Amino acid sequence: MAAKKDDTGPALPPAIEGAWGLRERPPKGPRPGLSVPAIVDAAVRVADADGLAAVSMSRVARELGAATMALYRYVGSKDELLMLMVDTGYGPSPGPPGPKDDWRTGLTRWAWAEHDVLRQRSWLLHVPISGPPITPQQLGWMEDGLRCLDGTTLGESEKMSVLLLITGYVRNEATLTAQIAEGSRAAGVEPAEMMPAYSRMVSRLIDPARFPALHRVLAAGVLNQDDDPDDEFAFGLDRILDGVEALIQRRAH
Amino acid sequence: MAAKKDDTGPALPPAIEGAWGLRERPPKGPRPGLSVPAIVDAAVRVADADGLAAVSMSRVARELGAATMALYRYVGSKDELLMLMVDTGYGPSPGPPGPKDDWRTGLTRWAWAEHDVLRQRSWLLHVPISGPPITPQQLGWMEDGLRCLDGTTLGESEKMSVLLLITGYVRNEATLTAQIAEGSRAAGVEPAEMMPAYSRMVSRLIDPARFPALHRVLAAGVLNQDDDPDDEFAFGLDRILDGVEALIQRRAH
DNA sequence: CTGTTATGCGTAGACCATACGCAGAACTAG
DNA sequence: CTAGTTCTGCGTATGGTCTACGCATAACAG
């Protein structure tokens, strides 16, 4: 009676359970010609090469020399495939902080690690995420982030909030720079010329009397100079960590 | 020769120019039966009612009693329609800060205004944004945000960074809470039961030895209690503004 | 050898965006 | 008043998407 109490809320899709190492292959029937990891790898390869929009079931199947519908024996839907793609796309987390690292050093490294992944695989930003993380590597990232805050005065709930704050920032910053890159490719402009072109366009559109502050920003040439996006990233990250530091100080009081 | 120098970078789509009040109707030909604002309003109505996924060209046309292809006389593509939907979906900006407001009060109000819009129209979060803002209301929001920082010691570039930081945070927070809501609707669980169900599922999946920090968070019941999401939002916002305040203090030194 | 079960995958249906072209309306020039 | 021009509405058609369903076949258990 109490033995089969796995009915814990909404069921996990079979392919996700597979990612956690549960679920063994049934002994009957013909040998599977494909495997979930092979499919996911192929899909990731397509996304790396031609972007997320190129990832269709038929394209992934072609990549594997299989028929489109063969994939549905392994993944329940395209959304499920996308979820698994995100998991392997992020890859293993950067590992726990070193024993001598303070929380700030650790979180900085953690944030830069995600930053690097998203720079490399900008298609991750286009995957419509449909819920909190449930895949192994995703939770691995979360674990390592939490460990950075282990010795601090923060409560468990606050640690979680801080992590969400940082990961949100990283994703947002990556989204913005990826948009510039993709926009320039779509418009046929070289990336360095993108922001100046944008700046010129906005200058032409706005009335300086109705948009004085914006006009001042444009006049200062803020959007023209293509300063290192990494500096921009570091700036915002330090702002957030300053805020976290203020909280930690207050809790220690 | 120097009269028609509008060839400033990648051209603005005609419908967007229309949103800025440029572009007059040609005097020839039959009267248009539709209009861009009418189409955009219909599309927004569909998105409000049935979500962004329900917004197809045929559905919008049906809403207007027109044929699908008729819409293409007014917007160049569906992406263009989406861009216009975002503009009217956000609506007018909350206005400039009051004359007695300090920067922190102003930015707080600004952030909450976007927060409220995104709560109301969560489909805005699902629109794949494809570049920096070029529509009138979007730039209006930016203008009002910049004005909040008018009297501070920050440089123009820093003001922009702060704004991006905040708007990114607002979007991120809204995305997370919207995911819970949508996820619970998709899984047929009532929203209040969503996070506990998630918490139980993760507990079942992870090995406490490999995920000690995460295990501790779950044991503390952090994800169970459905504390007011607005408190959560206010927490993160204050963290960020603390960071901005630290910067302003340093610049004033 | 028989029954069971899982696999590969072909077919088909229900959508989607949109390129193209035609009939006719509404204006301007003469 | 007429002819020409230009723009509108929209029907048709193409090529793409995901995926429900069902059938033949392969591999195992007894």
Per-residue pLDDT band for B10 (boundaries 50, 70, 90) equals low
Under an 8 A CB cutoff, do A161 and B235 touch? yes
Dist CA B146 CA B160 (whole Å)? 7
The yes-or-no verdict on residue B29 having pLDDT over 80 is: no
pTM, rounded to two decimals: 0.91
Overall residue count recorded for chain B in this entry? 253
Q: In the numeric block, which tokens belong to residue B87?
A: 């503009």
- Give the pLDDT of residue B180: 87
Dist CA A117 CA B144 (whole Å)? 34
Question: What are the helix (H) ranges across chain B?
Answer: 14-19, 36-50, 57-64, 78-90, 103-120, 136-148, 156-187, 191-205, 212-219, 229-252
**Nearest-CB residue to B213 (from A150, A157, A189):** A150
- Asked if strand D contacts A67 at the CB level, meaning under 7 A, the answer is no
Question: What are the helix (H) ranges across chain A?
Answer: 14-19, 36-50, 57-64, 78-90, 103-120, 136-148, 156-187, 191-205, 212-219, 229-252
Q: In the numeric block, which tokens belong to residue B184?
A: 């619970």
The nucleotide lying nearest B73 (C-alpha to C1') is D8
Q: Write the burial class of residue B129 (CB in 10 Å: 0-12 exposed, 13-18 middle, 19+ buried).
A: middle
What average pLDDT is seen over chain B? 91
Q: In the numeric block, which tokens belong to residue A22?
A: 């549960």
The pLDDT tens digits for B107-157 are 999 999 999 999 999 999 999 888 899 999 999 999 999 999 999 999 999
The pLDDT tens digits for B167-191 are 999 999 999 999 888 888 888 888 8
Query: DSSP of B57-111, one letter per residue?
Result: HHHHHHHHT--GGGGGGT-SSHHHHHHHHHHHHH-S---SPPTT--HHHHHHHHH
Q: In the numeric block, which tokens belong to residue A23?
A: 């679920």
Q: In the numeric block, which tokens belong to residue A205?
A: 């559109």
Dist CA B77 CA B45 (whole Å)? 19
Estimate in Å the CA B26 to C1' C25 gap, whole number. Answer: 14
- Strand C: positions under 7 A of a protein C-beta atom: 3-11, 15-21, 24-28
Under an 8 A CB cutoff, do B239 and A162 touch? yes
- H/E stretch holding A25 reads none
How far is C-alpha A137 from the chain's CA centre?
Answer: 12
The CA distance from B238 to the nearest CA of chain A, in Å, is 8
Please give the C-alpha separations between residue B22 and each of A197, B27, B136, in angstroms, as whole numbers: 20, 16, 12
- Of the candidates A93, A180, A164, A82, the one whose C-alpha atom is nearest the C-alpha of residue A123 is A82
Q: pLDDT above 90 covers what percent of chain B?
A: 74
Residue A209 gets which letter from DSSP? T
Sign of CA dihedral A9, A13, A16, A17: positive
CA angle B174, A186, A47 (to 5 degrees): 65
The pLDDT tens digits for A99-122 are 999 999 999 999 999 999 999 999
The yes-or-no verdict on residue A128 having pLDDT over 80 is: yes
Residue B26 gets which letter from DSSP? P
**Nearest-CB residue to B165 (from A128, A202, A236):** A236
Dist CA B171 CA B166 (whole Å)? 9
Lowest-pLDDT range of A188-197, A212-221, B209-218: A188-197
Under an 8 A CB cutoff, do A131 and B240 touch? no
- Give the pLDDT of residue A31: 87
Q: In the numeric block, which tokens belong to residue B150?
A: 């008018």
The pLDDT tens digits for A40-93 are 999 999 999 999 999 999 999 999 999 999 999 999 999 999 999 999 999 999
The yes-or-no verdict on residue B225 having pLDDT over 80 is: no
Q: pLDDT above 70 covers what percent of chain A?
A: 95
Question: A149-163: buried (b, 16+ CB within 10 Å) or exposed (e) per residue?
Answer: beebebebbbbbbbb
Residue found under tokens 């944008």: A198
